[in-house]
């Protein structure tokens, strides 16, 4: 492919990504307390500086209504460039990590590969519906892009296996446009998400080549749980040579143009962690754990701190809204997890000030807010962890009885 044309094509995307980063560093905006996203004024101000912008004339919407800002916000967090932190007074904002400094040193193509890697393997969006129909539609759209020649169009027609990508999954299709994988002809006047809002999808040469790679070699890296469903259903070996995702994507570009991969931070996370686990401002417990304690042990200590019965499923999430945040650990009361069974506090790569949610009992939904109050590097922890301080009487777990 012509690298000059490719760099020109991805230029607006990289500019928008860097504009977002610069805005956060310069303004340190406060995030909304409930949704942990940018508010109306910041979203509107940032939108005015973007290449991919919403057509709005006043600050009427929070971040989630700005499709591309919302995507970049999530990619920066999922990619480890920022994390959400809560100050002692309760102000919540984005705080940069050392990884952001490494991102700034990459060339534009290397930045682009990092963005695609993050989108493909880590991005989580509750606005895109899940389930087998969703994953089949998205996967089949990408395989159709991979099969076409530049200049050909994809229309809905009788292709029901991608039909959702024109309506309920249109957000995903717009993401592909932002990544430079396709152009879109839109339909004006769609009244609901079930109405078609996209008339035609026109794959780009870049999109065709990347979709070829990802649908044949990169499916096992797809961050969706449904990727396992695809591998099982199609019964194919998608990555025979066991290549890294960075290697798979970088092969699309000319040799030597993409050489530097953004590595994970190497930070000492061994030591003691002090967490504040709250149900409200007047009901909380302060808990101390060591880096090698597991999240199941964390769960057990919260159960003891609040006098609960440890008789339901539970999960830990980054952020304070489990419905839109990525789950980092889940398990049942007997200690058997559906993933990361032995995940330790150290492996979660937590920072001081970072906020999490502990969700217990997916029926009654007891939501506990967690803040990393302090990290004491290299300090030895206790064998079983401890409850340091308590405020407020524990609620009745089954108050309806």
Whether 288 and 374 map to the same domain: the answer is yes
Whether 275 and 385 map to the same domain: the answer is yes
Question: Residue 190 is encoded by which pair of tokens?
Answer: 């769609």
Residue 116 included in any domain? no
Length of the chain: 401
Report the chain's C-alpha Rg in angstroms. Answer: 22
User: Secondary structure of the chain: what % helix, strand, coil (to 5)?
Assistant: 35, 20, 45
- Residue bearing the bigger pLDDT, 139 or 228: 139
pLDDT per residue over 30-42, tens digit each? 998 778 899 999 9
CATH, residue 12: 1.10.10
pLDDT per residue over 106-141, tens digit each? 999 999 999 999 999 988 765 565 667 788 889 999
pLDDT per residue over 327-350, tens digit each? 777 776 555 555 545 789 998 889
Residue 400 included in any domain? no
Sheet of 314-318: strand order equals 337-339, 327-331, 314-318, 355-360, 366-377, 271-280, 283-290, 386-391
Q: Which of 7-11, 220-224, 300-304, 368-372 is the least confident region?
A: 220-224
Alpha-carbon span 147 to 141, nearest angstrom? 10
How many domains is the chain partitioned into structurally? 3
Whether 74 and 14 map to the same domain: the answer is yes
Residue 258 included in any domain? no
Whether 96 and 137 map to the same domain: the answer is no
Residue 256 included in any domain? no
Backbone φ and ψ for 123, nearest 5 degrees, come out as: -65, 130
pLDDT per residue over 277-328, tens digit each? 999 989 999 999 999 999 989 999 999 999 998 888 898 988 765 555 667 7
pLDDT per residue over 20-72, tens digit each? 999 999 999 999 877 889 999 999 999 999 999 988 889 988 898 899 999 99
Alpha-carbon span 220 to 185, nearest angstrom? 31
């Amino acid at each position: 492919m012509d690298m000059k044309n490719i760099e020109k094509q991805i230029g607006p995307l990289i500019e928008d990504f860097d504009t977002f980063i610069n805005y956060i560093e310069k303004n340190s905006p406060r995030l909304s307390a409930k949704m942990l996203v940018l508010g109306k004024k910041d979203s509107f101000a940032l939108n005015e500086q973007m290449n991919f912008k919403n057509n709005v004339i006043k600050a009427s919407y929070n971040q989630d209504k700005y499709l591309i800002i919302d995507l970049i916000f999530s990619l920066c967090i999922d990619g480890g460039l920022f994390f959400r932190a809560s100050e002692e007074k309760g102000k919540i904002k984005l705080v940069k990590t050392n990884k952001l400094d490494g991102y700034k040193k990459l060339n534009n193509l290397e930045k682009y590969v990092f963005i695609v890697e993050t989108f493909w393997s880590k991005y989580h969006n509750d606005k895109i519906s899940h389930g087998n129909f969703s994953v089949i539609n998205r996967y089949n759209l990408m395989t159709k892009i991979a099969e076409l020649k530049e200049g050909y169009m994809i229309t809905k027609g009788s292709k029901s296996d991608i039909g959702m990508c024109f309506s309920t999954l249109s957000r995903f299709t717009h993401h592909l446009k932002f990544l430079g994988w396709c152009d879109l002809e839109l339909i004006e006047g769609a009244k609901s998400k079930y109405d078609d809002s996209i008339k035609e999808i026109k794959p780009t040469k870049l999109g065709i080549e990347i979709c070829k790679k990802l649908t044949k070699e990169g499916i096992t890296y797809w961050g969706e749980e449904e990727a396992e469903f695809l591998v099982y259903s199609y019964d194919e070996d998608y990555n025979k040579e066991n290549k890294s995702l960075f290697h798979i994507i970088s092969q699309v570009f000319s040799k030597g143009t993409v050489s530097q991969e953004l590595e994970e931070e190497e930070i000492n996370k061994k030591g003691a962690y002090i967490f504040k686990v709250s149900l409200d401002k007047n009901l909380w417990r302060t808990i101390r754990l060591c880096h090698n304690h597991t999240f199941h042990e964390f769960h057990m200590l919260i159960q003891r701190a609040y006098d609960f019965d440890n008789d339901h499923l539970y999960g830990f999430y980054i952020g304070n809204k489990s419905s839109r945040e990525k789950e980092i650990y889940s398990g049942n009361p007997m200690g058997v997890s559906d993933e990361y069974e032995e995940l330790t506090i150290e492996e979660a790569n937590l920072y001081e000030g970072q906020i999490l949610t502990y969700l217990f009992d997916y029926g009654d939904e007891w939501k506990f807010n967690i803040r990393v109050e302090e990290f004491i590097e290299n300090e030895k922890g206790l064998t079983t962890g401890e409850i340091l301080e308590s405020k407020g009487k524990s609620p009745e777990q089954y108050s309806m009885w």
